[in-house]
Structure 1
Amino acid sequence: MSRRVFRYFPFAIAQDATAGPEYEARCVVGDESECGAESGTHSGPGPVEERQRKHTQETGHRRYRRNFGDYAVMRPPAELVEPAGANGGAA
C-alpha cells in the first residue's frame, strides 16, 4: 500500500475581480405551489430589489428567495509566490 503525504498551505480565498457577482430573486409565496416570479440575473442588487418591490405592489406577495453568486480564486501565501523571472522564466 502506498502512502501519500499532503501538505497544508494557508491559501486565502478572494473574490475574482475579473468576474462580477450575480444577484437574483424568486417569489416563493403560494398556497399550493410557489408563485415563481423571477427578477432575472443582474450585476447589482438594485434592479432585483426594485423587481421585488413592484411584484409585491402588484400581487401582495412578500416572501422571496434571494441568491447571490460570485467566483472565487485561491491565492497562495506570499512565500509560495515566485518572483518574476525566477525559475529560468522570462520576466
Structure 2
Amino acid sequence: MTRRVFRYVPFTIEQDRTAEPEYEARCVSGDETECGAQSGTYRHPGPVEEWQRRHAQETRHLRYRRNFGDYAVMRPPAELAALLSGSGGTV
C-alpha cells in the first residue's frame, strides 16, 4: 500500500480575467406563483438593470432574483509555480 501526504498549500483564488462575467435577472414577484420573466444573460449589469426598470414599469413587479456568474482560477504561491513550471507538471 502506498501512502501519500497532502500538505496545505496557500493558493489564491482570482477572477479569471480572460472570461467575461455574466449577469441576469428573473422576476420573482407574485403571490401564488412567480412571474418568471427573465432578462436574458449579458456581459454587463446595465442591460439587466434596464430590463428590470422596464419590466417594473409595465407590470409594477418589484422583486427580482439577480445572478452573477464568473470563472475563477486558483494560483499557487510563486515558489510552487516555479517548481511546477520547471518540471512540466500542473496543479
Q: State the TM bucket, normalised to the shorter chain.
A: 0.7 to 0.9
* Deviation of the 1:2 alpha carbon: 6.2
Structure 2 counterpart of 1:13: 13
Give identity over the alignment, percent: 74
- 1:70-81 maps to which residues of 2 (within 5 A)? 70-81=70-81
Counterpart CA distance in 2 for 1:70 and 1:31 is 32
- SS of 1:6's equivalent in the other structure is coil
Report Cα offsets for 1:17-71 as digits up to 9, x if no partner.
Answer: 1111000000000111100010000000000000000000000000000000000
Q: Give ranges in structure 2 of 5+ residues lacking alignment.
A: none
* Deviation of the 1:86 alpha carbon: 3.7
2:17 aligned partner, one-letter code:
A
Structure 2 counterpart of 1:53: 53
Structure number with the higher helix fraction is 2
1:64 aligned partner, one-letter code:
Y
Following TM superposition, where does structure 1 have runs of at least 4 consecutive aligned residues deviating by more than 3 angstroms? 1-4, 85-88
Query: Matched residue pairs, number?
Result: 87
Counterpart CA distance in 2 for 1:9 and 1:66 is 34
